[in-house]
Structure 1
Amino acid sequence: MTRSRLAAAAALSALLFASACSDTDDGGSEGSSSGSGGSDSGSQTSSAAESDTVTAAPEGVASVSLEEAQDIATNLLSTAAQVQNGDGEEIADDAESAYRGHTYYAALAADELEAVEGKPERRDLISDPVEPNVLAISREDGQSPLLILVQTVPDSGAPELFVLSSPDDDPDRFRIAWWAPMLPGTDIGSFDRRSVGSPVVRQGAGDLSRSPRRAFTQLAELVDYPRAEDPAQIKTNGYAPQVREAAQKQADEVSEQARFSEKNALRTQTYTFYREDGSAVSFAALKRESEFDVRDGMELTPPEAFLAFEDDESITARARLDSYVYAALTIPQDDSRPEMIAAREQLINAAGS
């Protein structure tokens, strides 16, 4: 029986943030990675709600006060750091307090993978406290979820963005709904004053050139393998070419033993904040399924990351790795291209036989 090694097609972030790549495959030039903190006099940065239609007037009031938003962010991100510091069953309560839905499952999966990838350096929250910068707060519009966009700037590596959401105005119900590091050469832009809040997209395309859901669906098609014919043009600052290159390499390595495909789809809600200039920044997670259909008489040897979820050291029929791809896109009002400004991948499950 012919054997070949199966590579875990996840977690490209280390590659992406180690070096900035020219985006020759999907066009555009790069800027500088940045995200400015929120003064309340006008210049800020914004996050996403779950659809698209501005439901608030140009002037209004933020759904959460700046002081309260700062406290919520500090508490949640500190709890998330405790999750990263902990291990196994001891993190369960903190994970439920910090995350909700897919981000909760992604945090538990990351903990499972620490046995393979190693545990991150422990953070001492006394000497190195979390210092979040609130960039934008959703404007009060009588709808949910309430949203807060936050940025942190670590001592090394790229700035990180976080979307915090709550179904109501109870500060204890906020959770981390999305997070990812910014891509090199990107800028999140400016938002309305935090005291008046930023309008968010609730459904449709609103004042944008396309709806956030359509933009993320187009991004998914752009990174599928095999690649879709004539995909939409999105500036990805090097991300899409690297994903396609990794998929092609994986397909080539197992071509004699298995047929490889990779499908991405939007499986979560979107969170979209309008920026000060009328464009928007939207946040969502794609679900990626990397599938191996083993040819008759062939066998694949799974990597350690696969074995963290599935105790099968010999794959003779099929295998699948599931990942979440956390992405942030800027969406213009005109016909110019959306731009990907942040990305993170997390392997969450594997199965095979």
Structure 2
Amino acid sequence: MAEATSLRKKHEDQGYILQKEPELTKAIVAALRQRKGHTAFQWVKGHQGHPLNELADELAGKAAKKRRGNCVELTIPANLNVTGARLTSMTQKLAYKAVRQMKSRETHPRPRTVKITTSESTSTNKHWSSLRKKDLITKETRQWMWTTLHDAYWIGNRWLEASMPADLQERAVCKHCNATEDMTHILFACDEPGREIVWKLLTEHWQTTGGPPIIPTWGSVLGAACVPFPNDKGARRVTMERRWTILATESAHLIWKLRCERVIGRENEPFNENEVRNRWYATLERRLDLERRYAALTEGRQRAKRLKTVDAIWTPLIQYNEDLPPNWVEKCGVLVGICKTPCRRSGQG
């Protein structure tokens, strides 16, 4: 409420440029100005048994559990709608931010981003911000996801452009399914066995750690860092969210790499099951090794926290984890085997 009261003049002078929810704040200010009497606010200390405060907490809790938010009326009467910013308050930073906001309103949303935000009920800004979580998504995978969401790979319909020769237009079709080979087909629909094996491995190991059933889709995979896993009380299970982000993004990127190797280097000869399994386990083992080394090299107060985080995320995925020493994370020389399968074992602590 401070945004609409004590900071009202500052934000109005700046044209609400730096506000995260400017339309909501402007609607609240307009509603206050429509009141004929003087309106005053009194701060109430929370969790002290005040009936209206307790009711507000209850309503907030119910709203947080909703998959989709309610539509809020934000219409402002013309005589109360304050627009623009004062020149005396304008700075280079504010001007740059205002230009970026105007440009973003003119930009059409990416179709793939719409798929993600629709299936997972997350905002576009939240999704794009999630790609910058360096401790969850590796640089290589992050670049692949960014390029995928911008439809920058030359696949599928890109080969069917009128300027393309007929022999190159054949590359638009998947040799296994005779369907247009776009990224949706590659990740979620192709009959090539490698894709199905990767998702099967992901599902088996995810459920082994106690994760709830989840189907790989645009939203749950490309938007993995935004997928919530609340407990019975509605609180976030952060460790489970981080584990899913790592498993889903690494698996999806592996499917893409296997596809490129098959089409470009193997003349569309599919990988056998053991090859795919070994590649998946090797991918996770490399990621685990990276996580452990990063945690072990962390200095200061964050070191213990980072070591504990890696332990919580990866221990359920380790084969024979009951035999691991207490400090297995920071002892990077200890070899571990990823999760409960006879197909691949690199040793045990």
TM-score strictly above 0.5: no
Normalised TM-score (structure 1): 0.26
Higher strand residue share: 1
Higher helix residue share: 2
Structure whose CA Rg is larger = 2
Normalised TM-score (structure 2): 0.26
Higher relative contact order (CA 8 A, sep 6+): 1
